[in-house]
Amino acid sequence: MIIDKTISFLKNQRESNWDRVFFEDVCIGTYLTAVKLSDGSAGVATTIHGKVKSCRKDQRRFGPFSPGKIKGSKVADFFEHQNDDPIMESLRMATLNALSSKWAFREGYKIHGNTDPIDILPLNKKNKIVLIGAFQSYIRKIQETNNELLVMELQKDALFEDQKHLFVPAEMAKKVLPEADIVIMTGMTMVNKTFEGLLDHISNSQTVVVTGPSSNIIPQVLFEHKVSMIGATLITDSDRLLQLAREAGAGYHLFHYCAEKITVERA
């Protein structure tokens, strides 16, 4: 899996300080999960909420990395701890985003500062584009062109009424994705563990874009798995990031207050 390969990469890099970095601050907000690590790096991911389950008193979670025990803990220990709680998956992704941030700007990649992937995709040609997730800014931008657009979503209601003709149910991935010239998916697919399954229906000849707050992992790892372009997020103010997450900030708030859009391409 992509996440496991990213962890393996980081463990093998001396400068990642894998065994020494700890959580300096953590916020698992309504929409965003944000972390600030002891090495000064910061990361963010979309918060996935699990169902609240009733449990007996002797089954309540008070073990390692339960509430009140994350801040100050070592990152390496966190990744060794097994927990399939969706909220912990969000924290896992935000932490990987932070640890990966210093690798996004290495030689061997083509970096576009203050740029979103949608700004450099060849939208002047008539392509068939499949957008995985109702990413509204992308929908509006693509609809202004002559490209054919389909939006793959779990819920049709994620689209506005005048967009519902674009809807494709997620179970149609096997049929729709191989026919696309360009596939755009959000980093959320890595958080909810659908990323690899989607890639199974995509060929190396297609243009694949991964974008959004959760997409900031080691570019090399993504480029080895059919990805052509990454819409990354450069955090410019980690304290403001945590404040936004605490105050129910969403992804679009980041770029107004504490982040810059960066597009990373294979060189």
**Hey, how many other C-beta atoms are within 10 angstroms of the C-beta on 248?**
11
Residues of the chain with confidence (pLDDT) below 50: none
What's the pLDDT at 65? 87
What's the pLDDT at 3? 86
Residue position matching structure tokens 């708030």: 253
10 Å CB burial of residue 170 (0-12, 13-18, 19+) is middle
Q: Could you tell me what percentage of the chain is helix, strand and coil, using 3-state DSSP and rounding each to the nearest 5?
A: 40, 25, 40
What's the pLDDT at 109? 86
CB burial readout 135-156, b (16+ within 10 A) else e: beebbebbeebebebbbbbeee
Contact residues for 252 (Cβ-Cβ < 8 A; gap 6+): 137
Contact residues for 140 (Cβ-Cβ < 8 A; gap 6+): none
Determine if the pTM surpasses 0.85: yes
CA angle centred on 27, ends 13 and 89, rounded to 5° = 60
In the sheet that holds 23-28, the strands lie side by side as 23-28, 32-37, 42-46
Query: Do residues 124 and 145 touch, judged by C-beta distance below 8 A?
Result: yes
Query: Do residues 85 and 30 touch, judged by C-beta distance below 8 A?
Result: no
What's the pLDDT at 97? 93
Domains of the chain: 2-103 (3.30.390), 109-266 (3.40.50.11590)
